[in-house]
Chains A and B, each alone.
Chain A
Amino acid sequence: MAEDYPKVDRVMGGVAGLISIAVPAVLFLYFIMLAPQIAMDAQVWAAEWVPSLGISLSVLMDGLSLTFALLITGIGTAVTLYSAQYLGDHPDYPRFVSYLLMFMVGMLGLVLAGNLITLFVFWEVTTIASYLLIGFNADSAKSRRSALQALLVTGTGGLVMLAGMIILGSVVGSFEIAEILGSGDMIRAHPWYMAILLLFLAGAFTKSAQFPLHFWLPNAMAAPTPVSAYLHSATMVKGGIYLMARMNPALGGTSAWFWILVLFGGFTAVFASVLALRQTDIKQVLAYTTLMALGTLTMFIGAGTDYAIIAAMLFLVVHSLYKAALFLVIGIVDHGTGTREAPVLRGLRHAMPLTALAAALAAISMAGIPPMIGFIGKEFMYKAGLGLPGLGAAWVTVMIFAASVLMFVVAGIVALRPFMGELAKTPKPAHEGPWPMLAGPLVLGALSLLFGILPSTVGFYFVAPATRAVLGMDAEVHLYLWGGFNAALLLSVLTFLAGWLIYRRHEAIRARLAVAEAKAPNFDRGWDNVLDGLKALAAWQTRLIQTGSLQRYMAVMFATFALLVGATLILRGGMGSGINYDAEGVHPIQWTVLALIAMGAGLSTWTSSRMTAITALGVVGIGVALLFIIFSAPDVAITQLLVEVLVVVLVALVMLRLPHLPSRAKSGFRAGHAAIAAAVGLVTTAVMIAVLQTPFDRRLTDFFEIASYPDAHGRNIVNVILVDFRATDTFGEIVVVVIAAIAAYALLRGAPGASPTPAGEPGARGEEEKA
């Protein structure tokens, strides 16, 4: 074993590694034990979460979710074991496994959720985990860009889907998936059906990278290889597939559903497998074949016949097994030779025999050669395609034929050519990987073979229950390796022939594809343009709205307030007849205080000294406090007084550092502000008068007066409300006080290195108050 693998003491990545391997392994065993029970009947288990919104933490466990759960935990075990070796000596390895486990929880929650909103929450967890994992090598700009792209594309799709979920939930009257699946006929007949369908598909298509939203997935290969194997081929990207399969009984079966899924899925499958031929980096080749698989699955879920769903569920298992294995193999090759370039790699079987074996097992399944499970998968796809009615049969059969031929070719490129022939020179001398990295791909490859030999077991425990769940009714499922001489077998033979021919001429085809690609529109660049446009729009509207002038902000806010409140007041009849404007009953003392307040306010607008203005405003505040005392609200008055004192001190601290007020601003400017100020004052006064005319509801006051002492042992009602009856509100308020203080502190301290005083301001300030 070569020296670049970590030594034994770091093997398994320490405690973090052991936990990360144990969690999926235990869960996998648990789900395996559930399998016989689930194969018979679906289980639902529920707990309340947010009952007021009809959101529950329910679990829906049927064949479909169990198959996914087993893939997630089974491949998860292989991948975490692999990662412990692959990244075990990375300084950020514990962070890596945390993200990986976070993803696993999200993905399990997604496939087990029995409630749409819960499903959405977990859906987003996987999106975020994917973002963190793609950007794991945060030093690389490419990683960061790919991570952000994946987040924005799938995140946007997720939000669109949430809109669809909310509409669907209100149409059905429940977010429980079991209830939604039971009301399929009602949903399909509903006028909102089309909107729901399109919104849901936006989510599914972004997550499962269907054309034309496919471009993020090949870029996501910037993630470490175990992540690519796990998230971006075996599990997360199948989230959209899961959603479509899950919603099939509710949304499927219409011609819109059929044609959208079949056309987009078929096109994605063929388009992606052609692009796969173009790549030279083996990992990129695999990324594009993942797109092909996702397109195929979408197409067959759309087709919707019994055979099509069986084919989709079978291919789901087939693809996850061989693709995860191949990705892990690529990681070993990359680690062992220092390159992933297909043209360079040759003859690796001499140096890496076990890797070659794992690659061969996976690739034979991928190529659809008997006796692997991949062969059965392909047979069923042909059978399903041929069995469709009318035009659909032609489209699906042609698409799946083309895609299968190209898969055959890709299997050769990825897993045959690099291992055959003479050992070629690579950046690092080729050497075999250690056992934790080999175990996963070997087991997955062996399973591809085992399932191919024992198709009825897979059929009974996984494919049949999953198919029943997707169809929403019973279906006959009988898997077999040898189906006799029929059209599907003939197509298989043709597939191998055509595939072999293309494989022989692959180099020439790749060169021609490269030329063609240079001319075709580039979706990745298109994405950049969209993003740039969005940024330009944001910059434009920020310049427009946020001028940076505090005076303008205040003017706009107060003018809006006066306008909206004033207009409402007039339109709703809050002024004029029926309102009593008499001032009788106002005590002379109150008049005095009011005069004091008015004088303070007037002075603050006339003075040219900031200090005087602040003090004058303090007079206004103290006048208000006096009013509180007159109306016997001592607590409020004390608080008002103290706050007033504090405000004067705080503002004075700031004001001392500001330059003199301009001796007299332009008269138009001042007139405008005076008008706004007068309008705000008048409107507020009118509102107060109108409000005070309505009879006062004493129910709350009475309650607090009665309950305060016996229940809360306090005679000061204000304080009892603050600390007892409404203590949670108060708690929120003190949190706000502290956050505001800390935020202001951070703002005042400024960014590191920023100058505390604005440049260009003369230092001679603070003279004002002496003048």
Chain B
Amino acid sequence: MNSLILTTATRLLVALLLVFSIYALLRGHNLPGGGFIGGLIGATGFILYIVATSAAEARAALRVDPASVAMVGVGVAALAGLMSAFVGQPFMTGQWLFLFAEPGEKGLPLSSVLVFDIGVYLAVFGGILTLVFALEEEI
């Protein structure tokens, strides 16, 4: 598509969408958002890039194969689930670490649940882009 406005706007929008997707991912545990939504937003950003430029350019910008991203995502999610094995708890039991927590506060919560959500993000992001690239490049 040869639209100057779209091409120019896309450069800003893609960056915004990607940042926003990570924002949605990180706030997900307490506010609307999460890995699934974040992954979708991120994928939308790249799809916009494909539409504005070309699949080849978008692929070059992504640098890695989206199918690999998706599979890494599944792997990360599986590892997050396995973390609980180290403390002898069942698969997928959430493990939490509250950094700098004052009494009664939760401080900076780091958790296997967040790692799992990152896995979901990557799987959705990579899965959808795999599909879109295939559609765009082959048809």
**Chain A residues with a Cβ closer than 8 Å to the other chain, count:** 42
Interface size bracket, B side: 35 or more
**A713, B29: Cβ atoms closer than 8 Å:** yes
- A728 in contact with B132 (CB, 8 Å): no
Q: Are B92's CB and A727's CB within 8 A?
A: yes
Point out the residues of chain B lying under 8 angstroms from A638, CB to CB: 32-33, 37
CB within 8 Å for A735 and B138 given contacts A635-B34, A638-B37, A639-B36 = no
Q: Are B127 and A723 in contact, with the CB atoms below 8 A?
A: no
Bound CA span A153–B70, Å? 41
Establish whether residues A719 and B136, one from each chain, have CB atoms under 8 Å apart when the complex forms.
Answer: no
- For A757, what are the chain B residues with a Cβ–Cβ distance below 8 Å? 139
Q: Given known contacts A731-B78, A734-B123, A745-B131, is B139 in contact with A722 (CB within 8 Å)?
A: no
Q: Are A737 and B124 in contact (CB under 8 A)?
A: yes
Rounded to whole Å, the gap between the CB of A272 and the closest CB of chain B is 53
Residue numbers in A under 8 Å from B33 (CB-CB):
635, 638, 716, 719
Which chain B residues (80-96) contact chain A, with CB distance < 8 Å?
A: 81, 91-92, 94, 96
- Nearest chain B CB to A725 CB, angstrom units: 9
**A677 CB within 8 Å of chain B:** no
Tell me if A389 is interfacial: C-beta within 8 Å of chain B.
no
On whether the beta carbons of A731 and B32 are closer than 8 Å, the reply is no
Considering only CB atoms, which chain B residue lies closest to A757 in the complex?
B139
B128 within 8 A of A: yes
Residues of A within 8 A of B96 (CB): 713
Contacts of B113 in A (CB 8 A): 712, 714, 723-724, 727
Chain A residues within 8 Å of B91, by CB: 728
Chain B residues with CB below 8 A from A716, complex form: 28-34
Q: In the assembled complex, which residues on chain B have CB atoms less than 8 Å from the CB atom of A643? A: 40
B41 at the A/B interface (Cβ < 8 Å)?
A: yes
| CB-based contact A654/B139 at 8 Å | yes
Q: For B32, what are the chain A residues with a Cβ–Cβ distance below 8 Å?
A: 634-635, 638, 716, 718
Q: Do A650 and B29 form a contact, CB below 8 Å, given A734-B74, A734-B119?
A: no
Residues of B within 8 A of A37 (CB): none
A642 near B40: Cβ-Cβ < 8 Å: yes
Decide yes or no: A653 and B132 within 8 Å by CB, A719-B28, A723-B34 being known contacts. yes
The 8 Å CB contact of A642, one of B44, B123, B131, B132, is B44
Q: Write out the residue numbers on chain A whose beta carbons fall within 8 Å of the beta carbon of B6.
A: none
B49 CB to closest chain A CB (Å) equals: 12
What are the residues of chain B within 8 A of A741 when measuring CB–CB? 67, 70, 126-128, 130-131
- Which of A591-609 touch B at CB < 8 Å? none
A-B contacts counted at CB < 8 A amount to 150
Taking a contact as CB atoms closer than 8 A, the residue among B34, B47, B116 that contacts A718 in the complex is B34
Known contacts A718-B34, A719-B33; A649/B131 CB under 8 A: no
- Which of A719, A730, A735 contacts B29, CB < 8 Å? A719
B22 at the interface (CB under 8 A from A): no
Q: CB distance B41 to A654 under 8 Å?
A: no
**Residue pair A723, B30 in contact (C-beta under 8 Å):** no
Contact mask A706-724 → B, CB, 8 Å, 1/0?
0000001111101110111
Mark contacts of B104-139 with chain A using CB atoms, 8 A cut-off: 1 yes-contact digit, 0 otherwise.
001001010110110110011011101111111011
Query: Chain B nearest CB: distance from A80 CB in Å?
Result: 37
B71: interface (CB < 8 Å): yes
Q: Is the CB of A715 within 8 A of B117?
A: no
Docked Cα-Cα span, A519 to B78, in Å, equals 63
A504 CB within 8 Å of chain B = no
Query: Min CB distance, B117 to chain A, in Å?
Result: 5
Q: A646-B43, A734-B123, A741-B128 are in contact. List 7 more A-B contacts (CB 8 A).
A: A649-B51, A715-B31, A716-B29, A716-B31, A727-B94, A737-B70, A740-B127
Q: Given A657-B139, A723-B34, A731-B92, answer yes or no on A646-B44 (Cβ-Cβ < 8 Å).
A: yes
Please measure, in the bound complex, the distance between the C-alpha atom of A486 and the C-alpha atom of B94, giving whole angstroms. Answer: 79
Assess whether A425 is interfacial by the CB under 8 Å rule: no
Given contacts A653-B136, A734-B123, contact A639 B37 (CB under 8 A): yes
Docked pose: A643 CA to B78 CA in angstroms: 25
> Which of A653, A714, A734, A749 lies in contact with B30, CB distance below 8 A?
A714
Contact partner of B67 (CB less than 8 A), chosen from A730, A731, A742, is A742
Q: DSSP class of B's interface residues: helix, strand, loop or mixed?
A: helix
Complex contact B134–A749 (CB within 8 A) = yes
Does A521 interact with chain B (Cβ within 8 Å)?
A: no
Residues of B whose CB lies within 8 Å of any CB of A are: 28-37, 40-41, 43-44, 47, 51, 67, 70-71, 73-74, 77-78, 81, 91-92, 94, 96, 106, 109, 111, 113-114, 116-117, 119-120, 123-124, 126-128, 130-136, 138-139
CB-based contact A748/B36 at 8 Å: no
In the bound complex, how far is the Cα of B26 from the Cα of A716, in angstroms?
12
Question: Which residues from B are CB-within-8-Å of A718?
Answer: 32, 34
Is A731 touching B81 in the complex (CB atoms < 8 A)? yes
Q: With a CB–CB cut-off of 8 A, which chain B residues contact A722?
A: 34-36, 117, 120
B47 to chain A, nearest CB (A): 6
User: For the complex, what is the distance from the CA of A631 to the CA of B22, rounded to whole Å?
Assistant: 26
Say yes or no for A576: interface residue by CB 8 A criterion: no
Complex interface residues of chain A between 618 and 654 (CB less than 8 A to chain B): 634-635, 638-639, 642-643, 645-646, 649-650, 653-654
A748 and B30 within 8 A (CB): no
A722 to B127, CA, bound (A): 18
A723 with B116: CB separation less than 8 A: yes
Whether, in the assembled complex, A756 has its beta carbon less than 8 Å from a beta carbon of chain B, the answer is: yes
* Closest Cβ neighbor of A633 among chain B residues: B32
In chain A, positions 739-764 with a C-beta closer than 8 Å to chain B are: 740-742, 744-745, 748-750, 756-757
Pick the residue among A642, A654, A750 that contacts B135 (CB under 8 A): A654
List the A side residues contacting B127 at CB < 8 Å: 734, 737-738, 740-741
Contacts known (A654-B135, A742-B130); A646 close to B47, Cβ less than 8 A: yes
Chain A positions within 8 Å of B133 at CB level: 745
- On whether A748 and B138 interact (CB within 8 A), knowing A639-B37, A723-B29, A738-B74, the answer reads yes
Contacts of A634 in B (CB 8 A): 32
Among B40, B44, B51, chain A packs the most CB atoms within 10 A around the CB of B40
B37→A642 contact, CB < 8 A = yes
C-alpha gap A332/B111 in the complex (Å): 65
Residues from chain A with Cβ under 8 Å of B44 in the complex: 642, 645-646
Closest 4 CB pairs of A and B: A741-B127, A714-B29, A734-B123, A642-B40
Q: Which A residues touch B130, using CB under 8 A?
A: 741-742, 744-745
Tell me which residues across on chain B come within 8 A of A714, comparing CB atoms. Answer: 29-30, 113
Contacts of B78 in A (CB 8 A): 731
Q: Is the CB of A723 within 8 A of B35?
A: yes
Chain A residues with CB under 8 A of B119: 734
A713 touches B135 (CB 8 A): no
Complex Cα distance, B66 from A744, in Å, reads 13
Instruction: Tell me whether A735 and B74 are in contact (CB under 8 A).
Output: yes
Give Cα A745–Cα B131 distance, bound, in whole angstroms: 6
Query: Do A730 and B135 form a contact, CB below 8 Å, given A643-B40, A646-B44, A738-B74?
Result: no
Q: Which residue of B lies closest to A645 (CB)?
A: B44
Q: What are 14 A-B contacts with C-beta separation under 8 Å?
A: A638-B33, A646-B40, A650-B135, A716-B28, A723-B34, A723-B114, A728-B81, A728-B92, A730-B77, A735-B123, A737-B128, A741-B70, A745-B134, A756-B138
Bound Cα distance from A734 to B91, whole angstroms: 16
